Amino acid sequence: NLLTKLETISFTASLVYIFTIATIIGFVSLLIQYFKGVLKFQVKAVLAGIVLGIFNFGSIYYYIKALHIESNRPSVVFSSLDIGVIVLGSLVGIWLFKEKLTKLNLIGLGLALVAIIILNLPDVI
């Protein structure tokens, strides 16, 4: 039975299958656009896409893992991870792109961190 076989596939393997299928579909789509003359091949864009894909895979992997661990509190998982992505993205912007944060940006990041703490207070107390 197909469903029985699907239940025996590990979590990581299922994500690898899903991302492999998505990669193949994306690659075929790009080839079609390339041969139609819509796109030009650029090594830099391919490398950036691979790096972005790796980060995307990691993000989805940890989202699903967190939802599995905290299955009773999905709103806490989504809120915490979304806020965490914003804070991490801001820190990467500061470090990698030398962005300057305004006072309002700093207040926003501070409030985001406070929100994560408050959302997780039942675990802390």
pLDDT band at 108 (very low <50, low <70, confident <90, very high): very high
If pLDDT is split at 50, 70 and 90, which confidence band does 124 have? low
DSSP conformational letter for 100: -
- Please tell me the predicted confidence (pLDDT) of residue 1: 63
- 105 close to 112: Cβ distance less than 8 angstroms: no
**Interaxial angle between packed helices 103-119 and 74-97, expressed in degrees from 0 to 180 and rounded to the nearest 10:** 150
**Residue 69 confidence class, pLDDT cut points 50, 70, 90:** confident
Domain ranges of the chain: 1-69, 73-125
**Residue 3 predicted with pLDDT over 80:** no
pLDDT band at residue 21, thresholds of 50, 70 and 90?
A: very high
Identity of the residue numbered 122 = P
Mean pLDDT, residues 60-65 taken together: 87
In this structure, is the dihedral angle defined by the CA atoms of residues 81, 82, 85 and 87, taken in order, positive or negative? negative
Question: Furthest-apart CA pair in the chain: how many Å?
Answer: 60
Report d(CA 52, CA 63) in Å as an integer.
16
Instruction: Evaluate whether 21 touches 15 at the Cβ level (below 8 Å).
Output: no
Q: In this structure, what token pair is assigned to residue 39?
A: 């796109």
